[in-house]
Amino acid sequence: MFKIVKRKEMAGGNMVLNEIEAPIIARKARPGQFVILRANETGERIPMTLADLDTEKGTITIIFSVVGRSTVLFSELQEGDYYQDVVGPLGKPTEIGMVGTAICVGGGTGVAVLYPIAKMLKTMGNRVISIIGARCEELIILREEIERVSDELLICTDNGSVGRNAQVTELLQEFLAKETPGVVIAIGPVAMMKRVSDITRPLNIKTIVSLNPIMIDGTGMCGSCRVEVGGAVKFACVDGPEFDGHEVDFDQLMQRLQAFRDEEKQSLDACGGAKVHRCKMEEEIASNDPGKANETPVAQVKAA
Ligand code: FES
């Protein structure tokens, strides 16, 4: 059993931070890795990439959007309550060394995954430029934390309520018109990571993305997390979750993330539903493809 020592609602209650007592995992984990949690004995196994860890306190931190039945269940756990299981650390840690300038691009809850990576890059001596975005100011998370580990922080929102009225990819393109960084790390909705990779590919700028496909065992046994990278089948749980964005088949990933959308919706409806915020890029992609107009947002399926 793993005790929640701190619980904080973020983004107007749409996201929840849990700091969890897990000393062995905290000692071993590195930025970029993830854990799989279950709220109770019959609960679904949910993968969450670590948002932070504290080796002295022996705690790990996760941040999740409340978008599916399991995350609704997670959100109901209070300080002092326990997760039934937390397994990890799983996956490969981030493998980025000294690159000079690193651009960290984060959208939605992806900012939580980006934070420990930006912190590590800054600690190593890199110049860190962070670009974070969300639908509106309320949904921007970890702003101060990201600012502390960045040499420059650029913020944008879909409605201009804070920062620029733009998308993260527009700010990225503006930066790339002036300067070529050593690496771009993009973490957030699949549509955003795809677009970032499309921008950096012709410029030949190394681009790392963190994938969160449907997972079950998290140990490379079930095959549910398979993704195609550079024409080869990879398992995100053991070969990732970070991959070269230029090599990822994002369209296939989006398709696979939709595989259980009807079941997810039924399950969510059965527990009273939850607010869903759809990534603007996903909306744009859907509006250009009438067949996708009514699909469940990828971000919802990912975290459900
Ligand atoms: Fe089963 Fe990755 S989650 S192989």
Interval 126-158: pLDDT, tens? 999 999 999 899 899 999 999 999 999 999 999
| Residue 29 in contact with ligand 1 by CB distance below 6 A | no
Q: How far is the CA of 221 from the centre of ligand 1 (A)?
A: 6
Give CATH 2.40.30.10 domain extents, the chain: 2-90
Q: Residue 266: what pLDDT?
A: 67
Give me the mean pLDDT over the 19-45 stretch. 94
What atom in ligand 1 is closest to the CA of residue 47? 3
What atom in ligand 1 is closest to the CA of residue 224? 1
Q: Which of 34, 45, 237 to mutate to test the pocket of ligand 1 (most atoms within 8 A of CB)?
A: 237
Q: Residue 61: what pLDDT?
A: 96
Q: How far is the CA of 256 from the centre of ligand 1 (A)?
A: 13
Give me the mean pLDDT over the 279-286 stretch. 52
Q: How far is the CA of 225 from the centre of ligand 1 (A)?
A: 5
Q: For residue 34, give both structure tokens.
A: 């993830």
Residue 15 pLDDT more than 70?
yes
Residue minimizing CA distance to atom 4 of ligand 1: 220
CA distance 229 to 248: 4
Average pLDDT, the chain: 87
68 φ, ψ to 5°?
A: -140, 175
83 φ, ψ to 5°?
A: -85, 140
What atom in ligand 1 is closest to the CA of residue 218? 3
CATH class for domain 101-254?
Answer: alpha beta
Q: For residue 297, give both structure tokens.
A: 């947002």
Q: Which residues contact 257 (CB under 8 A, 6 or more apart)?
A: 190, 213, 214, 298, 301, 302
Instruction: State the DSSP string of 273-304.
Output: -------HHHHHHHHHSGGGTTPPPHHHHHH-
Q: Residue 69: what pLDDT?
A: 84
CATH superfamily of the domain spanning 2-90: Translation factors (2.40.30.10)
| Residue 223 in contact with ligand 1 by CB distance below 6 A | yes
Alpha helices in 85-167 (DSSP H): 110-123, 143-148
pTM, rounded to two decimals: 0.85
Give me the mean pLDDT over the 244-249 stretch. 97
Residue 170 pLDDT more than 50?
yes
What atom in ligand 1 is closest to the CA of residue 222? 1
Q: Which residues pair with 20 in a beta bridge?
A: 4, 60
Beta strand segments in the chain, E: 2-10, 15-21, 34-38, 46-49, 52-54, 59-65, 82-83, 85-90, 101-107, 127-134, 152-157, 164-165, 183-187, 207-210, 226-229, 232-235, 242-244
Model confidence band, residue 109 (pLDDT cutoffs 50, 70, 90) = confident
Looking at per-residue confidence, does 280 or 25 come out higher? 25
Looking at per-residue confidence, does 12 or 60 come out higher? 60
What atom in ligand 1 is closest to the CA of residue 215? 3
The helix (H) or strand (E) run that includes residue 177 is helix 168-178
Q: Which of 48, 49, 217, 229 to mutate to test the pocket of ligand 1 (most atoms within 8 A of CB)?
A: 217
* Residue 166: Cβ within 10 Å count: 18
Model confidence band, residue 8 (pLDDT cutoffs 50, 70, 90) = very high
Cα-Cα end-to-end distance for the chain: 22
Q: Residue 256: what pLDDT?
A: 86
Buried b or exposed e, range 94-125, using 16+ CB within 10 angstroms: bebeebebbbbbbbbbbbbbbbbbbbbbbeee
Q: For residue 79, give both structure tokens.
A: 């300080």
Residue minimizing CA distance to atom 1 of ligand 1: 222
Q: How many CA atoms lie within 13 A of 140 on its CB side?
A: 25
Residue 283 pLDDT more than 80?
no
